[in-house]
Every structure is written in structure tokens, then in C-alpha cells.
Amino acid sequence: MRHWPLTQLTLTTPDLVLRVPDDDQLDELAQVAADGVVSPGAVYFPQPWASGTPEQTAHNVLQNHWWARGDWREDNWRLLLAVLHDGQVIGQQNLSARDFRITREARTGFWLGRRFQGHGFGTQMRAAALHLAFTCLVADRVTSTSYADNIASRRICEKFDYEPNGIRRLAVGERLAEAHEAVLTAERWRAHRQLTTLILGFDECRHMFGMPLAPGPVDVVLHV
Ligand SMILES: CC(C)(COP(=O)(O)OP(=O)(O)OC[C@H]1O[C@@H](n2cnc3c(N)ncnc32)[C@H](O)[C@@H]1OP(=O)(O)O)[C@@H](O)C(=O)NCCC(=O)NCCS
């Protein structure tokens, strides 16, 4: 899409492609969510967007994407990427920030359909988001929140050498939930990064993140 250059952004890891979904992919993503994301009774998110009926869950996904696009501003953006494995949509990776030009801090979130969990995809998704944040956007810090129940998400923070950044208590419905905050600095990421990510199309959309024009073309970023 010419006038929404985020659609040209593509992040590729060894097994995955991450991109802003077109309408068919967004519909597929909604179906993946409707088929199930969270284990019954577990608290993984502050809002129970994936705990209603399949139809409610699918609508939540669609409306969240439309809202994120409609509400996009250079100083308050939410990048919601569909994650594809062998051409099939399997989940979503988020990267968001408010006043990034000043704070240099971004935040990640992610989910996979239940049948795609536990295969190492979440690790690759986080690696791709961190690469975009630290290499293309030149972030100082990236944060993550994992609820106490969510061992996989907390383990992924450990794998990337995040530091604990406090525990918040909040009510999720009628339940007390403990949110484990974690932060990764650019220095720690540089010391520990290990997965390959190829990023294409960033130059076309860098202004949408409030980034100044690049001195030269930097739309291909590759590290091993
Ligand atoms: C969180 C999520 C995206 C992680 O993706 P994933 O592909 O399942 O995770 P990975 O397979 O890449 O890695 C998970 C790590 O946690 C470990 N892990 C997972 N469950 C575990 C458990 N019950 N006990 C111990 N370790 C566990 C895995 O062994 C792996 O660590 P390793 O590579 O050292 O072996 C995915 O599980 C998911 O979508 N969960 C539901 C939604 C959600 O929780 N979203 C995040 C909200 S913060």
C-alpha cells in the first residue's frame, strides 16, 4: 500500500516472517486467536481479550488492529505484526512506544495460537522485535511485562538477558495478578544477541516512528 508504508516493513527470522497483515492475513489472525491462545484460567494479559467466545476473541483482534492503525501517531505508535510460518499466520508480535523521540523506550507484546506455542517461535518473534527496536529505531531500552503464571514469556525475557524491573499487583477480573516487569538495555542486547533477523522496508516508514531521514539507505539490516 503506497500511502501506508508500514505495509512494506518485513522482518524475517530463520523460521518466520513478520509483517503488517493485509485483510486476508488479518482475518486468518483473528481465526488463530478464536481457535485459542490462553490456557483456561490462566492470566496472561491485563485485558481478557482472548478469554471470551471465539467470535468475541476474533473481533477483539480485528478491532485492535484497526484501532492501532487509526490511532497511529509519530509520538504514540503501536506496531502490530502478523507472524507467518511457512506462509501460515500463527500469531502476533507488537512493538509500541509513546514519546519515543524523548524516552528512547519501546515495549513488546506477543501471542501465538495455542497449537503453535512451544516450538521456539516466541523466541524468534521477540528477537525480531528487539532487532527492529535496537538497530533500526536506536532504542535505549525495551520493556516487557509477563504475568506470574506465564512461564514461557518470563523464560524468554531471561533468555535475552532482561533485568527485573519490579512486580506490579493488579486486579484482572476478580483475580489478583502479579505483573513481572523486565527491561533490556541496548548494551545488554548487543552483548547477548544471537538470532539472525533480516529487516526490509524500514527506510520507507522510518518517519512514521518519528525518526529523522537516514543519511543513506539502511533498509537492509543483517546480523548473525
Ligand atoms: C508467550 C509465547 C508467545 C511464547 O512463545 P513460545 O513459542 O511458546 O515460546 P518458545 O518456545 O520460544 O520458548 C519458551 C521458553 O519457555 C520455556 N517454557 C515454556 N513453558 C514452560 C514451562 N511450563 N516450564 C518451564 N519452561 C517453560 C521453554 O522451554 C522455552 O525455553 P527454552 O528455549 O530455554 O527451552 C506463547 O507461549 C504464547 O503465545 N502464550 C500465550 C499468550 C501469551 O502468554 N502471550 C504473552 C503475554 S506477556
170: in domain: yes
Q: Residues enclosing ligand 1, CB less than 6 A?
A: 37-38, 44-45, 110-112, 117-123, 146, 150-153, 155-156, 159
CA of 5 to the centre of ligand 1 (A): 32
- Closest-lying ligand 1 atom to the alpha carbon of residue 121: 7
Nearest Cα to Cα of residue 147 among 174, 124, 170, 130 = 170
Residue 93 is assigned to a structural domain of this protein: yes
CA of 149 to the centre of ligand 1 (A): 11
Domain count along the chain? 1
Residue 49 corresponds to which cell in the numbers above? Answer: 481479550
**224 domain residue, yes or no:** no
Nearest-CA residue for atom 42 of ligand 1: 111
Which residue has the least CA distance to atom 15 on ligand 1?
A: 152
Domain that holds residue 198: 5-219
CATH of the domain at 183: 3.40.630.30
Residue 47 buriedness (CB in 10 A; 0-12 / 13-18 / 19+): exposed
Which atom from ligand 1 is nearest to the alpha carbon of 154? 16
Q: Which residues, including other chains, have CB under 8 Å from residue 98's CB and lie 6 or more apart? A: 75, 76
Q: How many CB atoms lie within 10 A of CB 164?
A: 12
Q: Do the domain assignments include residue 115?
A: yes
Counts for the chain of helices (H) and strands (E), in that order? 7, 10
Specify the residue with its C-alpha closest to ligand 1, atom 5. 122
pLDDT in tens, the chain (224 residues): 889 999 999 999 999 999 999 999 999 999 999 999 998 877 788 888 998 999 999 999 999 999 999 999 999 999 999 999 999 999 999 999 999 999 999 999 999 999 999 999 999 999 999 999 999 999 999 999 999 889 999 999 999 999 999 999 999 888 899 999 999 999 999 998 778 899 999 999 999 999 877 654 444 454 43
In a domain, 157, yes or no: yes
